[in-house]
Amino acid sequence: MDRVADLSLFLRVLDLGSISAAARSLDLSVAVASQRLKRLERDLGVRLLHRTTRQLHATAEGTALAERGRAVIEELEALTADLRQAGSEPSGILRVTTSASFGRMYISPLLPEFQRRYPAVRLSVNLNDERLDLIGSGMDLAIRIGPLDDSSLVARKLADNRRVLACSPDYLRRRVAPRVPQDLADHECLLLVGAQGRMEYWSLLDRDGHASSMRVNGHLESNFGEVLRDAAIAGLGIAHFSVWHVHEDLRSGRLVRVLPDYTLPDTAISAVMPQRRFVPTRVRVFVDFLAEWFGEVPPWERGG
């Protein structure tokens, strides 16, 4: 296990920026820490660090070792934690991030029941419409909506994310309702602005599965779905919504579907974790808890 301990020390040096700081954090002398780093370099046959009187940087080989070695250390730590927890209840801090609206509407109400079931788990919940780097931000889990573009992460689908175009009845009383996707060019469209820019191209499928893509525009855009929902209810235009977000508004008539003979491509709601084989027990039970609650038909798709 000497090499594993030396690798952990090397990662700590990179994280803290100096050998002395890493040594203090591990209750080692600077001399012992330096000897162990030299031993690691000797065993691997490469130089891992550039050292000067004031700065310390990883070499190309050191950077490669850090990238792959960190995953190894995380897997080993997760496995050790799981083995220690075998036969006992899940514990430790669980760091979760999800979008603000979805988290407020569907995750927050579940937390009391989860903590009743697993009282030894401490929860840290981050509601954020920006997609955080899970590893860099120290998150254990993200609930993400839409396509997953990071292949280094592992995901478990929790539910379909069905989407619709909708506006208020008042808007349609003042404007001629669109009959085909091309008519959207003549309407006020409320645009979501995300990390990938303005969502100004809307793609719709007809009943035969043929796709039409239209560039739309309007006088209001936002990075926050609640702003677009409020604007649509107020009659300011047509917006692109996930059903989970506006299902109550559709049922009550505050919003009505636009182009009901066309559909938007479905995406997914997924639990996303850093890539590692050994998922901590606290993460696994939380994902299982969400999957149990969502069920085969998620709450926003159920009648009543």
Query: Can you give the pLDDT at residue 82?
Result: 62
Specify whether domain 92-159+268-301 bears CATH 3.40.1370.10: no
On average, the pLDDT of the chain sits at 87
Alpha helices for the chain (secondary structure H): 2-16, 19-25, 30-44, 60-85, 100-102, 111-117, 134-137, 169-174, 225-233, 243-252, 281-294
Tens digits of residue pLDDT in 86-128: 556 788 889 999 999 999 999 999 999 999 999 999 999 999 8
Same fold, 92-159+268-301 and 163-257: yes
Query: Can you give the pLDDT at residue 52?
Result: 67
Q: Map tokens 């090397």 to a residue.
A: 10
More confident site: 111 or 82:
111
Query: Can you give the pLDDT at residue 53?
Result: 61
Q: Span 255-275, mean pLDDT?
A: 90
More confident site: 159 or 55:
159
Tens digits of residue pLDDT in 174-225: 999 999 999 999 999 999 987 666 788 999 999 888 888 989 999 999 988 8
Rounded distance between C-alpha atoms, residue 36 and residue 34, angstroms = 5
pLDDT at 260 over 60: yes
Task: Specify the CATH architecture of the domain 2-85.
Answer: Orthogonal Bundle (1.10)
Question: Half-sphere exposure (CA, 13 Å, Cβ side) for 261?
Answer: 10
- Beta partners for residue 222, in sequence order: 192
Binned at pLDDT 50, 70 and 90, residue 71 comes out as confident
Q: Span 124-136, mean pLDDT?
A: 83
More confident site: 153 or 208:
208
Query: Can you give the pLDDT at residue 208?
Result: 86
Rounded distance between C-alpha atoms, residue 212 and residue 126, angstroms = 37
Query: Can you give the pLDDT at residue 12?
Result: 86
Domain segments of the chain: what residues? 2-85, 92-159+268-301, 163-257
Binned at pLDDT 50, 70 and 90, residue 287 comes out as very high
Across 108-146, b (16+ Cβ under 10 Å) vs e yields: eeeeeebeeebeebeeeeeeebebeebeeeebbbbbbbe
> Dihedral of CA 100/102/105/111: which sign?
negative
Tens digits of residue pLDDT in 19-58: 888 888 888 888 988 898 889 888 888 888 887 666 788 8
Binned at pLDDT 50, 70 and 90, residue 281 comes out as confident
Q: Domain 163-257 falls in which CATH fold?
A: D-Maltodextrin-Binding Protein; domain 2 (3.40.190)
pLDDT at 155 over 90: no
Q: Is the pTM of this model over 0.95?
A: no
Q: How would DSSP label each residue in 193-212?
A: EETTEE--EEEEE-TT--EE
- Greatest mean pLDDT among 5-9, 135-139, 200-204 lies in 200-204
Name which of 76-90, 121-135, 145-159, 230-244 the model is least confident about.
76-90
Q: Map tokens 């990883």 to a residue.
A: 58
- Greatest mean pLDDT among 92-96, 139-143, 169-173, 292-296 lies in 169-173
